[in-house]
């Protein structure tokens, strides 16, 4: 049970790039992907900034080999999952027990909401093909079938911590010797449903978001997909490439405070971070970088910050919220940020927290504002906290 689980493949698509290399370049050059709404057909165009992937469904379909009529969430998932699997370059994959554990928050909602407009006017109307993949699990299956994976498939939906939990479960299934290889992460496309939902909560910044700034006004929604390929020690020994890192710690806790808001002292966040440290056998001082959940809402950032203040006391690691680049990608964020965490370890880099002007007065630390390189990054903590009080932290470690 204590055998390590290795990260050997990465795949990402987000507003800052259509693959891992493009995302990394954007992170290094401080190029955020947030802007006006171009793709999503919504009344909020020109009013709310979002972080859209810069490809149309038709372009995504050509690149992914899936039809353009299916959910954008599946198209994004396919591109990132395939990139991760190709990157892992596992020669004899057909002889291994391979799983696909994906997360998303609203399944094929981007198509369902189109269907729904026609359906509401007349229940006999609306194309069924637009609603047939409404379920979260249907999105996962479209990709699993295209990748030819069937040993184990499941879907997790715990709001914004969904894909961290997918990676977490993947590692456990490998440790239990139930699977040899797992592609794990998550995906979410922007939908009117989520954009309007977050808008009613009044937590969307009408400007570009400013995570961990005293004057932060909310989050920007984003879209994308991020996956890591995890393998067992046995499979690792057969690979010709080096692993990026190990997944050394993980924990899941519940804030049990409110359906959407975090407790002021970040109880759930604290428990998740503490639990992950315990699992990895590391001390707070061993963490070199925290990829913050850092949504940019008043509530999240003070709760997360307070929990970090309590846990790390006077030894604050470097930290930043890459949501200042990608927006908040909901079911995909844990996957995307796992990819960024693995890259931070491999390249010895720390990402900047963009647009941070005034540090939060109640916190004794300030996230990094500039891109740093040639930094020793041994252990990275990645935080994902969501609605329903679901809090998860992952720790990635250098080999």
Partner 1 sequence: MKTYIRATGNISPQQSFGHQFLTEIIEHTGDRLTCIEPDYKGIIDVKLIRRMSRIIKMGVAAAMECLQESGVTIPDAITTGTAYGCLEDTGVFLTKMVEHNEELLTPTAFIQSTHNTIGAQIALMLQCHNYNNAFVHRGFSFESALLDGMLLLAEKEANNVLVGGIDEITNISHSILSRMDLYKCEQISNLDLFTTKSKGTIAGEGASFFLLANASSDNDYATLDGMHTFYKPTSATETEQQITSFLSAQSISINDIDLILTGRNGDTKNDELYSQLQQSVFKNSSTGNYKHLCGEYPTSMAFALWVAVNIIKTATVPTVISKEVKNKPKKILIYNHYQNIHHSLLLVSAC
Q: According to the binding rule CB under 8 A, does residue 28 interact with partner 1?
A: no
CA nearest neighbour of 399 among 229, 167, 244: 244
User: Cβ(351)–Cβ(377) under 8 Å?
Assistant: no
CA nearest neighbour of 252 among 169, 370, 312: 169
Q: According to the binding rule CB under 8 A, does residue 2 interact with partner 1?
A: no
Which C-beta is closer to partner 1: that of 86 or that of 145?
Answer: 145
Binding test (CB under 8 A) with partner 1, winner from 29, 124, 237, 314: 124
Q: According to the binding rule CB under 8 A, does residue 107 interact with partner 1?
A: yes
Q: Give the dihedral of Cα atoms 278, 281, 285, 288; nearest 10 deg.
A: -100
Q: Which stretch binds partner 1 (CB under 8 A): 231-239, 266-274, 301-309, 352-360?
A: 266-274
Provide, rounded to whole angstroms, the least separation between the CB of residue 247 and partner 1.
15
Q: According to the binding rule CB under 8 A, does residue 59 interact with partner 1?
A: no
Q: According to the binding rule CB under 8 A, does residue 141 interact with partner 1?
A: yes
Give the C-alpha separation, 40 to 44, whole Å: 9
Give the C-alpha separation, 382 to 289, whole Å: 9
User: Cβ(15)–Cβ(224) under 8 Å?
Assistant: yes
Give the C-alpha separation, 27 to 6, whole Å: 24
Binding test (CB under 8 A) with partner 1, winner from 92, 95, 200, 373: 200
Binding test (CB under 8 A) with partner 1, winner from 19, 59, 68, 196: 196
Q: According to the binding rule CB under 8 A, does residue 105 interact with partner 1?
A: yes
Give the C-alpha separation, 271 to 267, whole Å: 6
User: Is 23 one of the annotated active-site residues of the chain?
Assistant: no
Point out the catalytic residue in the list 23, 136, 209, 293.
293
Provide, rounded to whole angstroms, the least separation between the CB of residue 223 and partner 1.
17
Provide, rounded to whole angstroms, the least separation between the CB of residue 140 and partner 1.
7
User: Is 293 one of the annotated active-site residues of the chain?
Assistant: yes
Strands 379-385 and 390-397: antiparallel
User: Is 328 one of the annotated active-site residues of the chain?
Assistant: yes
Structure tokens at 335: 């996957």
Q: According to the binding rule CB under 8 A, does residue 193 interact with partner 1?
A: yes
Structure tokens at 57: 């469904």
Q: Give the dihedral of Cα atoms 12, 16, 18, 24; nearest 10 deg.
A: -60
> Exposed/middle/buried for 122, CB within 10 Å: 0-12, 13-18, 19+?
exposed
Binding map of partner 1 across residues 165-184, x = CB under 8 A, - = no contact? x---x--xx--x--------
Find the angle CA(387)-CA(389)-CA(395) to the nearest 5 degrees.
100
Provide, rounded to whole angstroms, the least separation between the CB of residue 65 and partner 1.
19
Which C-beta is closer to partner 1: that of 152 or that of 371?
Answer: 152
Point out the catalytic residue in the list 23, 136, 160, 333.
160
Q: According to the binding rule CB under 8 A, does residue 304 interact with partner 1?
A: no
Structure tokens at 351: 């990402």
CB atoms within 10 A of CB 352: 20
Point out the catalytic residue in the list 23, 136, 245, 328.
328
Q: According to the binding rule CB under 8 A, does residue 137 interact with partner 1?
A: yes
Q: According to the binding rule CB under 8 A, does residue 237 interact with partner 1?
A: no
CA nearest neighbour of 245 among 382, 343, 333: 343
Q: According to the binding rule CB under 8 A, does residue 388 interact with partner 1?
A: yes
Point out which residues bind partner 1 (CB under 8 A).
1, 42-44, 105, 107, 112-113, 116-117, 119-120, 123-124, 128, 131-132, 135-138, 140-141, 144-145, 150, 152-159, 165, 169, 172-173, 176, 192-193, 196-197, 199-201, 252-260, 267-268, 271, 386-390
Q: Which residues are the active-site residues? A: 160, 293, 328
């Amino acid at each position: 049970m204590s055998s390590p689980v290795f990260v050997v493949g990465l795949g990402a698509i987000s507003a800052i790039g259509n693959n891992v290399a493009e995302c990394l370049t954007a992170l290094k050059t401080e190029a955020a992907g947030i802007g006006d709404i171009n793709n999503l057909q919504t009344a909020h165009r020109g009013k709310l900034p979002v972080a859209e992937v810069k490809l149309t469904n038709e372009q995504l379909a050509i690149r992914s080999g899936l039809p353009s009529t299916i959910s954008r969430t599946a198209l994004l998932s396919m591109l990132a999952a395939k990139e991760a699997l190709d990157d892992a370059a596992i020669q004899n994959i057909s002889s291994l027990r391979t799983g696909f554990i994906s997360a998303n928050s609203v399944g094929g909602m981007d198509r369902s909401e189109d269907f729904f407009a026609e359906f509401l006017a007349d229940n006999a109307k609306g194309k069924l093909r637009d609603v047939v993949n409404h379920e979260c699990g249907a999105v996962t299956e479209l990709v699993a079938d295209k990748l030819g994976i069937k040993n184990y498939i499941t879907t997790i939906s715990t709001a914004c911590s969904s894909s961290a939990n997918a990676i977490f479960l993947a590692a456990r299934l490998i440790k239990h010797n139930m699977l040899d290889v797992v592609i794990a992460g998550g995906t979410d496309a922007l939908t009117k449903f989520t954009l309007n939902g977050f808008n009613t909560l009044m937590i969307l910044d009408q400007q570009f978001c400013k995570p961990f700034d005293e004057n932060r006004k909310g989050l920007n929604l984003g879209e994308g997909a991020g996956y890591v390929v995890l393998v067992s020690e046995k499979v690792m020994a057969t690979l010709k490439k080096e692993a990026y890192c190990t997944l050394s710690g993980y924990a899941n806790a519940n804030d049990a405070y409110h359906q959407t808001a975090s407790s002021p002292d970040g109880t759930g966040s604290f428990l998740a971070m503490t639990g992950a440290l315990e699992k990895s056998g590391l001390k707070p001082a061993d963490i070199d970088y925290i990829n913050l959940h850092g949504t940019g809402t008043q509530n999240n950032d003070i709760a997360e910050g307070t929990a970090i203040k309590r846990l790390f006391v006077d030894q604050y690691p470097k930290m930043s919220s890459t949501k200042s680049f990608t927006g908040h990608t909901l079911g995909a964020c844990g996957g995307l940020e796992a990819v960024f965490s693995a890259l931070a370890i491999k390249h010895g880099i720390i990402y900047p927290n963009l647009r941070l002007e005034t540090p939060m007065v109640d916190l004794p630390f300030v996230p990094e504002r500039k891109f740093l390189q040639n930094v020793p990054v041994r252990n990275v903590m990645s935080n994902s906290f969501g609605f329903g009080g679901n809090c998860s932290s992952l720790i990635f470690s250098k080999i």
